[in-house]
């Protein structure tokens, strides 16, 4: 008995490819919104923007903060993808599965620490001007 044939969607090219890729990206964002960590990170972006705007940070600093958070969102998406794949191929506990998840988590933590450092340096720099 053979496995049922799965139909592969026809290749999309040109402008249709752009629209298809946008749809896939939006679906990924909707999927990521289901992750508590991602929602917390979005909240941290809003709070950080409010803090930096409140102390008079300039547009370059605000843009850099948004850029760092966009990178964080991308890393969080990759971490979630790793977790999904690991859970699918290894439903029982395995050391390699734990290692894969831990490494993804470490990547997210490194970027979070980078953002905290950036915000601290900007805040300190602006407060030092008035101190």
Judge whether 76 counts as a catalytic residue: yes
DSSP for 64-89, written as a single string: HHHHHHHHHHHHHHHHHHHHHHHHHH
Instruction: Tell me whether residue 19 is annotated as binding.
Output: no
Instruction: Tell me whether residue 87 is annotated as binding.
Output: no
HEC string of 30-48 equals HHHHCCHHHHHHHHHHHHH
Instruction: Tell me whether residue 101 is annotated as binding.
Output: yes
Angle between helix 59-89 and helix 36-54 axes, rounded to 10 deg? 170
Instruction: Tell me whether residue 61 is annotated as binding.
Output: no
**Spatial distance between the Cα atoms of 39 and 32, rounded to a whole number of angstroms:** 8
Instruction: Tell me whether residue 94 is annotated as binding.
Output: no
Instruction: Tell me whether residue 88 is annotated as binding.
Output: no
**Spatial distance between the Cα atoms of 106 and 74, rounded to a whole number of angstroms:** 14
Instruction: Tell me whether residue 95 is annotated as binding.
Output: no
Instruction: Tell me whether residue 53 is annotated as binding.
Output: no
Catalytic residue (choose from 76, 92, 94, 95): 76
Binding residues for substrate: 37-41, 76, 105
Q: Which residues are annotated as a binding site?
A: 24, 35, 37-41, 76, 83, 101-102, 105
Residues that are catalytic: 76
Binding residues for a divalent metal cation, as ranges, are 35, 83
């Amino acid at each position: 008995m053979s496995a049922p044939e799965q139909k592969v969607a026809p290749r999309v090219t040109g402008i249709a490819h752009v629209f298809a890729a946008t749809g896939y990206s939006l679906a990924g964002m909707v999927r990521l919104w289901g992750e508590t960590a991602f929602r917390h990170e979005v909240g941290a972006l809003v709070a950080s923007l409010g803090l930096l705007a409140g102390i008079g940070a300039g547009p370059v600093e605000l843009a850099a903060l948004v850029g760092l958070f966009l990178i964080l969102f991308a890393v969080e998406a990759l971490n979630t993808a790793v977790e999904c794949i690991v859970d699918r191929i290894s439903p029982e506990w395995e050391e390699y599965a734990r290692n894969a998840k831990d490494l993804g988590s470490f990547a997210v933590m490194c970027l979070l620490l980078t953002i905290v450092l950036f915000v601290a340096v900007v805040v300190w720099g602006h407060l030092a001007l008035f101190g």
